[in-house]
Amino acid sequence: MSLDTRPRRVLLASSTALKALIASSSDLVAVLQPDRTVSHANDGFARVLGCSTNELLSNTLDSLHHPSELRGVLDKFGEAQSESEKKCGGLCRLRSKEGCWLWFDFEISNHLHSPGIEGWLVSYRNVTELRRLEAERQVISDVVHALNQTSNLDQLIFRIHQALKKVVYAENCFVALREPATDMFHFAFFVDQFDPPPPPQKIARTCMAYVFRTGEAQLIPQKEFDRLAAEGEVELVGSASPAWLGVPLKTPTETIGVLVVQHYQNENAYDQRDLEFLESVGGHIALAIDRRRSEDALRKSESMFRLLFSHTPLPTWVFDTETGRFLEVNEAAVSNTASAKKNSSA
């Protein structure tokens, strides 16, 4: 007696078709068993994250998710479990094999009772570049808003730092501005896990000075630092950091300083995308800082003028040359005028 193998052939054909469909997708697609271990994954994982299929099979994808977002992703599994073929999704970050965090729109489909699958179907669509563009626009918007809302340079750079922290790791960050009169770097902003704010310093052979001299953004991991040090381009000042990223702050006419972020533990904390991002917003940050510095200098100059004008013992007037109307008079002028009137009436 022969068994009817048609249902099995249909099931195998369906499974083969599913695998072919998954393999052709530009998204990252995986089939998970009910306990969320990977039973199949397409080449997208290797292409985008650098994780081979063998590395994923029989493991969950939990370790790829950003720790702060994993709980929310697991909640989506719980939500999808309530109904067959229900889809739930959201936004998350996955870590590449190189240690970079990439952004994805993810979707979970409940196929626990679907023949040929009997598990979860998950897909991730890479939206890193879109998120980067959105983040860039948001940082620029925040910089403009900070420029309009703050009253001095310290407040402005603090607000800029808060905006950058939303996009890149910036727990160790400083802004060094060049003072043309002294040809020295002044640290207008400095936060660091280990080192205290340094005093103003001459342009030397630091990585910061290297960025300023070359006028180019530089991603300097430990190997690159060792190479530059061997060539005499840089030398170590302060604590060594395996991940260092600096961008010149350029206005249309000059380079006014350098913005630096660094990480002391993770050598893969920054990548080319981070360099391009900071380089793209660096010009806007430079213009904002330059404008605020000019306004601060103008206010200081005005305050100094008013102080000298008010306390000089010589009678002093400021008047409109066209109308002859007095615009400002100091106390000495008022006293002199009063004395003149008194003498004239006597």
The tens digit of pLDDT for each residue in 176-186 reads 999 888 889 99
Q: At 12, list the tokens.
A: 């195998």
Higher pLDDT, 312 or 237: 237
Per-residue confidence (pLDDT) for residue 49, from 0 to 100: 94
Q: Nearest-CA neighbor of 75 among 61, 64, 90?
A: 90
Per-residue confidence (pLDDT) for residue 151, from 0 to 100: 82
Per-residue confidence (pLDDT) for residue 12, from 0 to 100: 40
Of the listed ranges 6-20, 30-44, 140-154, 236-250, the least confidently predicted one is 6-20
Of the listed ranges 78-92, 155-169, 312-326, the least confidently predicted one is 312-326
What mean pLDDT do residues 283-308 have? Answer: 73
Could you tell me the sign of the dihedral formed by the alpha carbons of 186, 192, 198, 203, in that order? negative
Higher pLDDT, 4 or 233: 233
Q: What domains are defined for the chain? A: 6-126 (3.30.450.20), 131-301 (3.30.450.40), 312-345 (no CATH)
Q: How far is CA 26 from CA 105, 117, 264, 270, 345, in A?
A: 13, 20, 36, 25, 97
pTM (predicted TM-score): 0.64
* Rounded Cα distance, 178 and 188, in Å: 10
pLDDT above 80 (res 63)? yes
pLDDT above 50 (res 1)? no
Per-residue confidence (pLDDT) for residue 204, from 0 to 100: 79
pLDDT tens readout for residues 13-52: 455 655 666 666 679 999 999 999 999 999 999 999 999 8
